[in-house]
């Protein structure tokens, strides 16, 4: 829902959605992959809360991009992203999130509601920085990581790929 809202508030219209089950809360037609054509934009509205789910989500994005679909970054209008930050294809930054100068948000990564990614930090492809989590300056978060809600990644830390940082913890311990 948050991604759909971010898109709508930014003026984008939902052309349709792909889901094996009908979604009565979405205002658009249910489609299948065959309806997509190269050049069309896709936005992933699914998330993930562990490295395996995040890997599957990133694989799906890669499949669509490999078939020629565009994957624009999505930024909720109530988020703040520095002009000096870089958002890769399919990145999502939700309401009240902050992305500081020289930060890089990888392909398909999620910076969720109220999360903060400080200066000179990078969030790996397909990673998820959960609501209220803080990644402090000069950190490297590998691909497919889950930084749990309210967690704090301490300055200059490196989080290896496919790591789960539990909610309300600090990393490294």
The set of catalytic residues is 119
- Using omega within 30 degrees of 0 as the cis cutoff, is the peptide bond preceding 134 cis? no
Q: What is the helix, strand, coil percentage profile of the chain, to 5?
A: 15, 25, 60
Q: Sign of the CA dihedral 33, 66, 111, 173?
A: positive
Phi/psi at 147 (5° precision): -100, 105
Q: Which of 7, 22, 31, 6 is nearest to 97 (CA)?
A: 6
């Amino acid at each position: 829902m948050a991604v759909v809202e971010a898109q709508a508030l930014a003026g984008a219209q939902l052309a349709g959605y792909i889901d094996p089950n009908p979604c009565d809360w979405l205002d658009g037609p249910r489609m299948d992959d065959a309806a997509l054509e190269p050049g069309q934009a896709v936005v992933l509205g699914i998330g993930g809360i562990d490295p395996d789910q995040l890997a599957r989500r990133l694989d799906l994005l890669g499949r669509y991009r490999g078939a020629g679909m565009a994957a624009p970054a999505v930024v909720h209008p109530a988020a703040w992203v520095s002009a000096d930050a870089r958002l890769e294809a399919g990145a999502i930054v939700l309401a009240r999130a902050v992305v500081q100068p020289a930060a890089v948000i990888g392909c398909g990564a999620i910076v969720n509601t109220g999360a903060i990614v400080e200066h000179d930090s990078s969030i790996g492809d397909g990673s998820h920085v959960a609501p209220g989590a803080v990644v402090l300056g000069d950190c490297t978060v590998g691909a497919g990581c889950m930084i749990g809600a309210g967690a704090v990644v301490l300055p200059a830390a490196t989080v290896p790929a496919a790591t789960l940082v539990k909610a309300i913890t600090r990393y490294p311990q």
